[in-house]
Amino acid sequence: MPTALADTLESVELADGVQIHLRVAGPAARSVAWLIDVLIFVAVIFIVSMGINLLSDLLIGEQVGQGLLLLALFLLNWFYNVFFEMSGKAATPGQRHMGLKVVSVSGGPVRLPQSMIRNILRVVDFMPGAYLFGLTCCLCTSRFQRLGDLVADTVVVYADKPQHEGVAMKVNADPLPPPLPLNREEQAAMLQFLERSPRWSDARKMELSDVLEPLTKRRGMGGLLDTVRMALWLQTGGGGRGR
């Protein structure tokens, strides 16, 4: 079972040879975030239009009010995402709700030109409707990048989890050989699971170990125990006979 099946971590090698891992967000989480932002956008437009209409009736007149409304629509449509992506959270309200943020592919903060480019190209990603082109592009790239992300060199990732979701359980187990031969990619996935699991909650550990049910024949705590035992066996040198 490849590493991609165990997590959404994507390796990125920087110019100085340092390799980092980004936990990229898939189309499902990004779609929900987008729907939340659409609802917020519509609500803001409704409030702004009501305020401008009130000002038009009392002070500024209908033509000036229509001009202000068009200006507000323009600014919100083109700079809503840019404003929030350049904030400290690097995420719109919808993205924050889903635990996401926008970063450069190097893992660093997104810069203003990058945010401008990725949001200008939303026009193309939206075609022919409902972000169909952007969704297709996401599904065809390993980092789930739409066209705007590819051009701007950005990626949407999961934000860091709060520290209280850290280690809640320790598993003491004896090494156990896998019932089937594992190739090098599968061995790497098992060893990465063993390396990263101390930073995960119990639920996250069992969620990932359940992916290995075809190998362990068990789910939940039993599957987690067998996964750790097999990873320990590989760590102690048993994986040398893998394919």
CA distances from 84 to 37, 109, 188, 226 (A): 11, 13, 37, 44
Q: What is the pLDDT of residue 74?
A: 92
Instruction: Look at 20 and 137; give whichever has higher pLDDT.
Output: 137
Whether the pLDDT of residue 5 is over 60: the answer is no
Q: What is the pLDDT of residue 163?
A: 44
Contact 34, 131 (CB under 8 A): yes
Q: How confident is the model at residue 20 (pLDDT cuts 50, 70, 90)?
A: low
Whether the pLDDT of residue 103 is over 80: the answer is yes
Q: Give the end-to-end CA distance of the chain in Å, rounded to a whole number.
A: 13
Three-class secondary structure of residue 61 per DSSP: coil
Q: What is the pLDDT of residue 173?
A: 65
> Could you read off the pLDDT of 136-177 as tens digits, one per residue?
999 998 889 999 999 999 999 998 654 444 444 455 567 888
- Identify the sign of the CA torsion 32, 140, 24, 203: positive
- DSSP structure string for 107-120: SSBPPHHHHHHHHH
> Could you read off the pLDDT of 109-131 as tens digits, one per residue?
899 999 999 999 999 998 887 78
DSSP H or E run through 158: strand 154-158
Structure tokens at 40: 């917020």
Contact 164, 30 (CB under 8 A): no
Domain boundaries along the sequence of the chain: 27-158, 164-241
Three-class secondary structure of residue 233 per DSSP: helix
Q: What is the pLDDT of residue 172?
A: 59
How many CB atoms are located within 10 Å of the residue 116 CB?
17
Residue bearing tokens 């156990």: 176
Distance CA 184, CA 167 (A): 28
Per cent of the chain over pLDDT 90 is 33
Cβ partners under 8 Å of residue 47, min gap 6: none
How many CB atoms are located within 10 Å of the residue 161 CB?
14
Nearest to residue 227, comparing CAs of 242, 241, 214? Answer: 214
